[in-house]
Chains A and B, each alone.
Chain A
């Protein structure tokens, strides 16, 4: 299972990076979202999958899955929600002000 997920992570990152390298702001945004998913699965997989019960002591199980990556991922999910909300609005404002959503169109002065 871990190997399958590791491969899936690779695919998520591949598509994510490919999208981030596009011109369109929307594609870049979606790319970052995919990268975030990839990171989350990566964190989860690092600790090994399904090594025990859910990390709830009420389950009274012999072993639990590693709770630490889950805490990190939870933090990350919320932070990336904030970041992507910011990006979305940035793209939206850029479009309203500049009339386009093309990163290359708004590039700075060439040195």
Chain B
């Protein structure tokens, strides 16, 4: 069931998003409202169950192998928060229906974000699994970011959104690290199981770090000093969002986290000092800052910071109970009671005040205290609500805020009895701080209500004439104000239903020994708390009067911005540093990127070859060195070394060709006839191609490279060469594996039916390779074809260039050399015959599909050079692109043919047949496959050559 409650808001969000433009006349808010309403009612019905005891855990497996499952659990603390989330959510959505105009605003994203937030927040307070909790926690940050930036065209909205995101996500990550440390210590992500181990792990070295990291998450989320700076800027969000996320729910997630982890960490001195200390500092800092604000929402933001600090401080003081047992422990839990009670009260009165400010903003178009005044006669209902809200905030009877403030005073007075941490006299500072902060709280509450609604009405400063808000805007704050009165008069409605179950969750050990009994009532007699309250009221009025007399309200305060400057400065610094660091290496020059790659290879490969164990360079026996080989190598190296110095393109190309031919020679010398044949023909075709393409280009410019640039190039080049030499030598050394080559030598004839092992390897053992190889070749040639044919001009649409009419078709470079023409005719016939021979002989002798095809292509190229492409195309009207397709298809079909005989893809077979002319002949399916290779390679080569030739 709990899973469904978390899912409901997400499903609603999906529904709203899918609706898009449909039912545009219906305000999206009405569709959404039902969700939180139903959830609120559901959680209300759970109250009796939770009061009676545990509700149990509900588990849905997610990643069980890592111990991450969707375990949801509803206890007193979660219940209180779920009611806050759904109840406030309901009111805020109702309010937003009247606040956001469906004609002017983008409502779908607004409600989608709001619902995502609601679901995520429910997930946070219901999860028992830390990783799930973390996920939902970050999702609340993200949805808060989106909602603050709702009016994303405003620069300030974006600034505020980013700030809140950076700070809360920073805290979230710290918390994540804390969770992982807890996991490391306990071996579980379940909060419940961590509780049970709390006593065992408290001595471990990571215990305190994990506590501090988790607190960082809580403090950033709950806007505690000094991380509070994001909250005032978050006020750029629409007011319903401020009321909901940034006062009632999301900012309280930090309080929830502290309360949730109290059973683990309470009892640690550090926990007590950090939580209560930070809380009290935030309380007094926030209340002083609130005095300085001229914007109503900013005033409320600082007030929220201050009140969150108050609750945080109370939770810290409540943890003092863990130092004691029995009666004394219960004595200190008064702070926890006050914390939970004030948590509810704060949501109620702050929610109503935010809505009031929204109304004022809506009606006057300003929130500036310097422009506002005298609205009481124009907006009496709004004024009444504001009065109740701010009196409750100030802590005046008979409102609930009075009660929680009394309890707060009790708690700070009680803490003086804490005798185990430090001299008791020190704790006197707690009530003093609390008392001073309360005076400021009283004063800014008065400023807020009286400066807005009394004083001089200044219509000239307002854009529009204000009047009372529509009923829809008034209803939610009125309901909240009523609640503030009711809970003030009958506080015990809350004490048994929500506060006691909540305390049971925060102090499980105490609750087990003696059930909590909370009875909140108004009059205790003339106790210290009453005198403190009277003092607050008297001094608060004095401060307020002095403030008004000195016109301090109108003053622009310049102080208090230093923390923001730190934030802005560090953001700028990070941006600048990362930009300059990135600029150092992301130069936009491809040569630099290549250099990084080469350097990495040198370091990784070369380094590991030199320093890794078990690598030997070279072997004992080497092949003898012969004269021819040395000459071939020397010529090859001379050619290679000359290329960088070549002055013209032709020279450079020919030198490269020379290197190629020397490699061919080496192939022959090293007993690789197939390679030699292939390399030789490829060299012919490539050089032709090079010359075809580059004969139109301008002379090769001498590269004017500065010495400074040349040196690193040279170092990298030499380093790379040396690395490859090392690789070659290492490969010759001892190998940990046995070579698989002997298998091929032994089985080439028996399994493949061929005596040319290399060819059998290509068409049979590694036929799959070959099939993809011709596919790649086909793709390359088609890419070339489209590069030439699709004349992509910048800015124009790709358009197939129509074929030029025949009569002025540009001519292929055509020779008039009669000698060449007559030789070519004869040579062509010889070459083609040789090609066919190579193809058929390939299986047993040097040759094969590749070589034969390249040979045939070379013949065609010769013919084209001698007679021109037109002639060749006329004599051999072949569409070479179709030839490629045919070739690949034949090869593929041969492979598929294996299935007919129920053997794996590309299994070749062979047999001997008596043929009429040729006698006993061996026929293999591999020949058929090779035919595919043959045809496609001819197609590829001729397609490339003719495409370029025709373009010239």
Within the complex, the shortest CB–CB distance from A20 to chain B, in Å, comes to 6
- B717 contacts A91, CB within 8 Å? no
Using known A-B contacts A58-B845, A71-B761, determine if residue A3 contacts B716 with beta carbons closer than 8 Å: no
- A104 contacts B678, CB within 8 Å? no
- A74 contacts B758, CB within 8 Å? yes
Using known A-B contacts A24-B701, A58-B844, A65-B670, determine if residue A82 contacts B652 with beta carbons closer than 8 Å: no
- A13 contacts B720, CB within 8 Å? yes
- B728 contacts A5, CB within 8 Å? yes
- A95 contacts B697, CB within 8 Å? yes
B787 part of interface (Cβ distance < 8 Å):
yes
B604 part of interface (Cβ distance < 8 Å):
no
Contact for A101 among B689, B697, B727, CB less than 8 A? B697
- B660 contacts A37, CB within 8 Å? yes
Give CA–CA (A108, B592) in the complex, Å. 13
Within the complex, the shortest CB–CB distance from A80 to chain B, in Å, comes to 8
- B700 contacts A26, CB within 8 Å? yes
Chain B residues near A110: list those with CB within 8 A: 583, 586-588
One of B29-37, B369-377, B739-747, B823-831 at the interface = B739-747
Chain B residues near A24: list those with CB within 8 A: 700-701, 703
Chain A residues near B682: list those with CB within 8 A: 77-78, 81
Give CA–CA (A4, B784) in the complex, Å. 39
- B744 contacts A23, CB within 8 Å? no
- A89 contacts B678, CB within 8 Å? no
- B671 contacts A81, CB within 8 Å? no
Interface residues of B in 697-743 (CB under 8 A from A): 697, 700-701, 703, 713-714, 716-718, 720-725, 727-729, 731-732, 739-741
Residue of B633, B723, B749 with most partner-chain A CB within 10 A? B633
B443 part of interface (Cβ distance < 8 Å):
no
Using known A-B contacts A92-B693, A103-B590, determine if residue A75 contacts B762 with beta carbons closer than 8 Å: yes
B416 part of interface (Cβ distance < 8 Å):
no
- A109 contacts B944, CB within 8 Å? no
- A109 contacts B591, CB within 8 Å? no
- B844 contacts A50, CB within 8 Å? no
- B761 contacts A67, CB within 8 Å? yes
- B757 contacts A49, CB within 8 Å? no
Contact for A78 among B588, B591, B649, B850, CB less than 8 A? B850
- A10 contacts B721, CB within 8 Å? yes
Chain B residues near A11: list those with CB within 8 A: 637, 640-641, 721
Give CA–CA (A53, B671) in the complex, Å. 7
B912 part of interface (Cβ distance < 8 Å):
no
- B701 contacts A20, CB within 8 Å? no
Within the complex, the shortest CB–CB distance from A110 to chain B, in Å, comes to 4
Q: A1-30 interface mask toward B, CB cutoff 8 Å, 1 = contact, 0 = none?
A: 111111111111111011111111011011
Using known A-B contacts A11-B640, A89-B787, determine if residue A79 contacts B777 with beta carbons closer than 8 Å: yes
Using known A-B contacts A10-B725, A24-B700, A78-B937, determine if residue A37 contacts B663 with beta carbons closer than 8 Å: yes
Interface residues of A in 94-111 (CB under 8 A from B): 95, 97, 101, 103-104, 107-111
Q: Secondary structure of the A side of the interface?
A: helix
Give CA–CA (A15, B61) in the complex, Å. 60
- A74 contacts B717, CB within 8 Å? no
Within the complex, the shortest CB–CB distance from B619 to chain A, in Å, comes to 7
Interface residues of A in 41-64 (CB under 8 A from B): 41-42, 44-58, 64
Using known A-B contacts A11-B721, A40-B663, A71-B766, determine if residue A3 contacts B729 with beta carbons closer than 8 Å: yes
One of B5-13, B163-171, B623-631 at the interface = B623-631
Interface residues of B in 761-802 (CB under 8 A from A): 761-762, 766, 769-770, 773, 776-777, 780-781, 783-784, 787-788, 792-794
Residue of B595, B689, B749 with most partner-chain A CB within 10 A? B689
Q: B296-322 interface mask toward A, CB cutoff 8 Å, 1 = contact, 0 = none?
A: 000000000000000000000000000
Contact for A70 among B674, B701, B703, CB less than 8 A? B674
Within the complex, the shortest CB–CB distance from A35 to chain B, in Å, comes to 9
Give CA–CA (A27, B643) in the complex, Å. 9
- B693 contacts A54, CB within 8 Å? no
Contact for B762 among A18, A50, A74, A95, CB less than 8 A? A74
Q: B600-626 interface mask toward A, CB cutoff 8 Å, 1 = contact, 0 = none?
A: 000000000000000000110011111
- B773 contacts A71, CB within 8 Å? no
- A21 contacts B787, CB within 8 Å? no
Give CA–CA (A45, B586) in the complex, Å. 38
Give CA–CA (A60, B168) in the complex, Å. 78
Give CA–CA (A16, B281) in the complex, Å. 68
Q: Chain B interface residue count: which class?
A: 35 or more
Contact for B672 among A23, A42, A65, A78, CB less than 8 A? A65
Within the complex, the shortest CB–CB distance from B839 to chain A, in Å, comes to 15
B636 part of interface (Cβ distance < 8 Å):
yes
Contact for A48 among B619, B690, B713, CB less than 8 A? B619
Give CA–CA (A41, B637) in the complex, Å. 13
- A1 contacts B623, CB within 8 Å? yes
Residue of B582, B653, B693 with most partner-chain A CB within 10 A? B693
B659 part of interface (Cβ distance < 8 Å):
yes
Chain B residues near A52: list those with CB within 8 A: 671
Chain B residues near A46: list those with CB within 8 A: 728, 731-732
Within the complex, the shortest CB–CB distance from A39 to chain B, in Å, comes to 9
- A1 contacts B783, CB within 8 Å? no
B535 part of interface (Cβ distance < 8 Å):
no
Chain A residues near B619: list those with CB within 8 A: 2, 48
Using known A-B contacts A9-B724, A55-B756, A85-B781, determine if residue A17 contacts B678 with beta carbons closer than 8 Å: no
- B656 contacts A6, CB within 8 Å? no
**B632's closest neighbor in chain A, by CB?**
A8
Give CA–CA (A14, B948) in the complex, Å. 31
- B720 contacts A19, CB within 8 Å? no
- B693 contacts A14, CB within 8 Å? no
Q: B676-700 interface mask toward A, CB cutoff 8 Å, 1 = contact, 0 = none?
A: 0011001001100110011001001
**B713's closest neighbor in chain A, by CB?**
A21
Give CA–CA (A8, B17) in the complex, Å. 66
B846 part of interface (Cβ distance < 8 Å):
yes
Chain B residues near A101: list those with CB within 8 A: 697
Give CA–CA (A42, B913) in the complex, Å. 42
Contact for B660 among A33, A78, A88, A111, CB less than 8 A? A33
Give CA–CA (A23, B709) in the complex, Å. 12
Within the complex, the shortest CB–CB distance from B906 to chain A, in Å, comes to 15
Q: B232-250 interface mask toward A, CB cutoff 8 Å, 1 = contact, 0 = none?
A: 0000000000000000000
**B725's closest neighbor in chain A, by CB?**
A10
- A70 contacts B758, CB within 8 Å? yes
Within the complex, the shortest CB–CB distance from B510 to chain A, in Å, comes to 59
Chain A residues near B761: list those with CB within 8 A: 67-68, 70-71
Within the complex, the shortest CB–CB distance from B894 to chain A, in Å, comes to 18
Interface residues of B in 75-129 (CB under 8 A from A): none
Contact for A17 among B672, B673, B717, B744, CB less than 8 A? B717
B207 part of interface (Cβ distance < 8 Å):
no
Chain B residues near A33: list those with CB within 8 A: 656, 659-660, 686
Give CA–CA (A87, B370) in the complex, Å. 72
- B671 contacts A50, CB within 8 Å? yes
Give CA–CA (A21, B714) in the complex, Å. 9
Chain A residues near B725: list those with CB within 8 A: 6-7, 9-10, 13
B282 part of interface (Cβ distance < 8 Å):
no
B425 part of interface (Cβ distance < 8 Å):
no
Chain B residues near A47: list those with CB within 8 A: 739, 741
Using known A-B contacts A7-B725, A56-B846, A103-B590, determine if residue A71 contacts B637 with beta carbons closer than 8 Å: no
Using known A-B contacts A82-B781, A85-B689, determine if residue A42 contacts B727 with beta carbons closer than 8 Å: yes
Contact for B850 among A8, A68, A74, A88, CB less than 8 A? A74
Using known A-B contacts A13-B720, A20-B594, determine if residue A88 contacts B689 with beta carbons closer than 8 Å: yes
- Give me 11 A-to-B residue pairs in the complex whose CB atoms sit less than 8 angstroms apart, sorted by A's number: A2-B732, A9-B724, A10-B722, A22-B591, A27-B644, A42-B724, A42-B727, A44-B672, A58-B845, A77-B679, A78-B678
Nearest 4 Cβ contacts at the A-B interface: A14-B721, A10-B725, A71-B761, A57-B755
**New A-B contacts (13) at CB < 8 Å, excluding given A11-B640, A54-B673, A88-B693:** A5-B666, A10-B724, A38-B724, A40-B679, A49-B623, A56-B755, A57-B748, A67-B741, A75-B773, A81-B686, A88-B690, A93-B788, A97-B794
